[in-house]
């Protein structure tokens, strides 16, 4: 067990040092591709503002910190739908299953689709040539393991596809994470997660080629435009969570904080708080701070909030509803709703 943990730790550190992660770099904002990898599709952790890297549990750990997947009791299913910027819909479905006493496997898929965009040209700025759609799909497969009663770790392999019907880009990425729990009542939690590490992606397809007349006009020829490769939005999250131990029985209050280093934007600081009664009703809130946010440098900072209601069914089965709401400067409010079944 200790040997496996050492190997996993070495792998995580190696990935961190071989990526281009650095302190926040505002000069590179917008230069990464596959930005859908930065969108949290799950309602519960969205309400935290992404601050619960150290305390995230269950299937939602596929996005936050895969180490938390190891806390899955048996089987978990989640379906969520987000209304993103400009009311763009994001649909996500996930399934996790305990494979042994210490290991859990999970699969999730998220899809973004923007349809019926009018085709325009320089000569036809008002359209008339039909419409097209843009889509982005992420397929995640994650594995997590309890190395001891206090140390948990895991990794996620991602397949990424985005583009239109005739221009697409595809790639792969890796996430890895560790959580450490300590304290007399396991009320202190640490977490670290490395996300979106992978090779560059490039667009290709018939849509970047066109047919035209040769200079002499005697024949037609097909020309293909070159596209530049783009990097993935790799980032590193380091978090701490604390369960306040003095509350009465059946009450839980958890505070959390996370530092995010992303080489394609400014560093971020995330803070969150959650109150739960008997783990049946939970209320949470979060705040994301980014250097320069007062100057309007980013739209995805500020406040978030959410709640969870758990309904016990037969046996150990529960049905849960999660909801989150977050602010987006210039774009109003973004919301996510999810339903969850724990078997």
Give the tens place of pLDDT for each residue, 290-309: 876 666 556 678 899 999 99
pLDDT at 315 over 90: no
Kindly report the pTM of this predicted structure: 0.87
Return the exposure string of 74-111: e unless at least 16 CB atoms fall within 10 Å of the residue's CB, then b.
eebebebebebeeeeebebebebebeeeeebbbebbbb
Share of the chain above pLDDT 90, in %: 62
In the structure, what pLDDT confidence band is assigned to residue 18 with cuts at 50, 70 and 90?
Answer: very low
pLDDT of amino acid 131: 86
First CA to last CA distance, the chain: 28
Counting Cβ atoms within 10 Å, is residue 169 exposed (0-12), middle (13-18) or buried (19+)? Answer: buried
49, 235, 264 from 299: Cα distances, Å? 13, 18, 15
Residue 310 belongs to domain spanning: 2-342
Per-residue model confidence as pLDDT tens digits over 77-128 = 999 999 998 889 999 999 999 999 999 999 999 999 888 888 888 888 888 7
Tens digits of residue pLDDT in 48-60: 999 999 999 999 9
Considering its fold, how many domains does the chain have in total? Answer: 1
Residues 165-220: tens digit of each pLDDT: 889 999 999 999 999 999 888 999 999 999 999 999 998 888 777 777 767 767 77
Give the pLDDT band (50/70/90) at residue 11.
very low
CATH at residue 140: 2.40.160.40
The answer to whether 298 and 291 are in contact (CB under 8 A) is no
Quote the CA–CA distance of 70 and 76 in Å, as a whole number: 12
Beta bridge partners of 140: 108, 158
pLDDT score of 14: 47
* Average pLDDT score over the chain: 87
- The whole-number pLDDT of residue 87 equals 87
Q: For 126-135, 213-222, 322-331, which range has the lowest pLDDT when averaged over its residues?
A: 213-222
What distance in Å separates the CA atoms of residue 11 and residue 233, rounded to the nearest whole number? 19
3-state secondary structure of 41: coil
Element at 46 (helix H, strand E) = helix 43-47
The radius of gyration computed from the CA coordinates of the chain, to the nearest angstrom, equals 22
């Amino acid at each position: 067990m200790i040997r496996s943990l050492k190997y996993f730790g070495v792998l995580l550190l190696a990935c961190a040092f071989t990526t281009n992660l650095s302190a926040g770099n505002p000069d590179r904002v917008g230069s990464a591709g596959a930005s859908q990898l930065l969108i949290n599709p799950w309602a519960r952790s969205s309400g935290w503002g992404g601050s619960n890297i150290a305390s995230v549990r269950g299937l939602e750990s596929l996005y936050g910190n895969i180490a938390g997947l190891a806390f899955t009791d048996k089987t978990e299913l989640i379906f969520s739908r987000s209304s993103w910027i400009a009311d763009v819909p994001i649909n996500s479905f996930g399934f996790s299953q305990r494979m042994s006493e210490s290991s859990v496997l999970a699969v999730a898929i998220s899809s973004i689709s923007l349809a019926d965009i009018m085709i325009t040209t320089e000569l036809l700025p008002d359209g008339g040539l039909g419409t097209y759609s843009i889509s982005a799909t992420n397929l995640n497969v994650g594995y997590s393991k309890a190395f001891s009663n206090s140390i948990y770790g895991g990794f996620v392999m991602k397949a990424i596809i985005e583009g239109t019907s005739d221009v697409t880009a595809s790639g792969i990425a890796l996430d890895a994470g560790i959580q450490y729990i300590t304290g007399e009542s396991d009320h202190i939690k640490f977490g670290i997660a490395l996300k979106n590490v992978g090779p560059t992606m490039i667009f290709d397809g018939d849509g970047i080629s066109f047919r035209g007349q040769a200079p002499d006009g005697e024949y037609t020829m097909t020309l293909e435009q070159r596209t530049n490769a783009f990097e993935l939005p790799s980032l590193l999250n380091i978090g701490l969570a604390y369960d306040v131990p003095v509350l009465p029985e059946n009450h839980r209050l958890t505070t959390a904080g996370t530092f995010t280093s992303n080489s394609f934007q400014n560093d971020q600081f995330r803070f969150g708080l959650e109150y739960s009664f008997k783990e049946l009703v939970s209320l949470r809130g979060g705040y994301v701070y980014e250097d320069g946010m007062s100057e309007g440098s980013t739209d995805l900072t500020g406040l978030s909030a959410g709640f969870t209601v758990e309904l016990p069914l037969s046996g150990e089965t529960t049905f849960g509803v999660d909801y989150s709401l977050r602010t987006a400067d210039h774009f109003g409010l973004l919301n996510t709703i999810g339903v969850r079944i724990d078997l």
